[in-house]
Structure 1
Amino acid sequence: MNYTEKLVAEKSLKDDILCYWQMKGDIDEAVGINSRYLPKGQNLLIFNYGRDIEYMEATKFMYLNPRVIIVPAFATSRIINQKGKIDLFGISFIGDGLYKLMRLPMTKLVNHLTEDLRQKYENLHSELDGLDFPQKAIVAEKFLTDNINQNLNSPPLQQAIKAIHQTKGKITIGDIAKKVYVSERQLQRLFKTRIGISPKVYCKIIRVNNYIDFILSKDESVNWMELVVEYDYHDQPHLINEVKSIAKLSPKKLQSYRDTLYHRYTNE
């Protein structure tokens, strides 16, 4: 499996888009490969030019059709099965970039799409077909520049996300609300509407991703007490259970895998 990515170049998109990426390869038709994807607090728009993806467990992934897939932010790891020809081109959104592109709350995006919106992304799929990865990224970036509505910016949400990342998720919802001058209820609504998960879950995802980065950077055994102290936990089991709640794998098991942008791990 070959994976390629390109960070967004257009300055006006840097608060909304992390990167464009491509996954290509040929996998055994009979068995395929089961893969575990860990949440990053990002939304994805994926264009599929290969074999249909099979889901191994219930997800919030939504098909516009088998070729165009919207992946709202999810709270725990997902397992999918890929087999045969793999040819995916994806856009990784950060913050509420997907909301500003689709101009719909995440709940409506998952459950209700107009025919016009559906057709718009089917047309983009056709426009990208046959292009190489650099060309796809150029076409996608032009499309996003033309279609993301910057008038839908939410300074409180952007400030809240910044505060969460600066603290590596070690911040209470009350403290975030005070910092961005909104009520906790308003903060909950902003995250659920624009990203698809609560601020509490978003904080947990950021914390766990920081744990995982730490774990996977170590060649030797992890010093758990170092992590417990760093993230203000009462004890080691509390921290380990939080990793399991997101990854559905123990930290020890995660050490046997290595990181990619989407934390892709073969499921055993």
Structure 2
Amino acid sequence: MKYKETNPCNQLRSHIHSFWELQGEENDRVWERIFPDGCPGLVMNLGDSCITDNGSVTMEHGKTYLVGAMTTFKESFMDEHTHLIGVCLKPSAFSSFYSYVSLNDLKNQTVLFDQNLSFDKDKFNGENHTDYLNQFFIGRKNSKKHRIVSLLKHIQNSMGSLSIEELSKSNNISVRQLERIFKDSIGLTPKEYSSIVRFQKALNLIKSPRKGRSLLDIAFECGYYDHSHLTNEIKQKTGRIPSQL
């Protein structure tokens, strides 16, 4: 399987993590598992029909799908006829390009996207799609500043350890209003997003082992109560235990 990831232009880097392309190769027949990262995305299917969301959704050729933020893993079936183009948005970026629905309705969902708001399939005939995607999103970008951006930075800077009450107090906003802003803007509650930030930190540490650092050390470093708490969180979000990652 061939996977290629490219960075957006400087104008878009505060809104988009990356553009990516995935193509199947001969004899590929595998369920690919992805883990939650708190980010929504857009996927256009240029290949044959592709089964995703653990078998519950079929992405059809030539259509674009909106992928909501995930709180647990999902699997997609890939074979030699798979060809997907995708955009990984930053958590709060969707509303900078689209006025659509509350992203809370799309949590853990993959839904057909309005084709009038989507990409031009014919623009993907060449080798390099990055220029077209940069131009597409620059053309859609609005200049509105969203309060959610600073709220997300507070959580990211604390690596998910900041309590919701602390976040509420430091931003002079009620917990109830905080919940609404998060659900509408990124499709997750503050607690869910904090959990994903903390999980991603732990995942990176587990995948980059350091001599003398145990799983218990990682648990404490990432703010988990103990070894079991971390293991249960990993299992919930990946379907695997730490030693299988």
TM over 0.5: yes
Q: Which of 123, 139, 145 lines up with 1:146 in the alignment?
A: 139
Equivalences for 1:63-142 in 2 at 5 Å?
67-104=63-100, 105-107=102-104, 117-121=114-118, 124-133=119-128, 136-142=129-135
Q: Which amino acid aligns with 2:15?
A: D
8 Å contact kept, 1:27–1:82:
no
Residue 49 and residue 223 in structure 1: after superposition, are their counterparts in 2 closer, same or farther (change >3 A)?
A: same
Distance 1:253 1:222 in 2: 17
Taking only the aligned residue pairs, the percentage that are identical comes to 22
Q: Which of 20, 31, 34 lines up with 2:31 in the alignment?
A: 34
Distance 1:129 1:7 in 2: 17
CA displacement 1:108-139 (0-9 Å, x = unmatched): 6779989xx43231xx2324230213xx1111
- Please tell me the root mean square deviation across aligned C-alpha atoms, in Å: 2.6
Could you tell which deviates more after superposition, 43-52 or 220-229? 220-229
Distance 2:78 2:124 in 1: 20
CA displacement 1:172-226 (0-9 Å, x = unmatched): 1111122222211111111111111111111111111111100011176850221
Residue 3 and residue 50 in structure 1: after superposition, are their counterparts in 2 closer, same or farther (change >3 A)?
A: same
CA displacement 1:231-264 (0-9 Å, x = unmatched): 333321112111112112111111xxxxxxxxxx
Distance 2:22 2:41 in 1: 14
Residue number in structure 1 paired with 2:170: 179
Distance 2:9 2:243 in 1: 37
Q: How far is the alpha carbon of 1:88 from its aligned partner? A: 1.5
Q: TM-score, normalised by structure 1?
A: 0.81
Distance 2:135 2:203 in 1: 34
SS at match of 2:120: helix
SS at match of 2:17: strand
Distance 2:98 2:74 in 1: 24
SS at match of 1:18: strand
CA displacement 1:63-95 (0-9 Å, x = unmatched): 697621111111100011112322221111002
Number of equivalenced pairs: 242
SS at match of 1:51: coil
8 Å contact kept, 1:45–1:91:
yes
Structure 2 unaligned segments of length 5 or more: list them. Answer: none
Distance 2:197 2:110 in 1: 27
CA displacement 1:137-165 (0-9 Å, x = unmatched): 111111111112222x313x111111111
- Alignment partner of 1:8 is 2:8: yes
Equivalences for 1:39-50 in 2 at 5 Å?
39-50=36-47
Distance 2:3 2:110 in 1: 30
Q: TM-score, normalised by structure 2?
A: 0.88
8 Å contact kept, 2:18–2:88:
yes
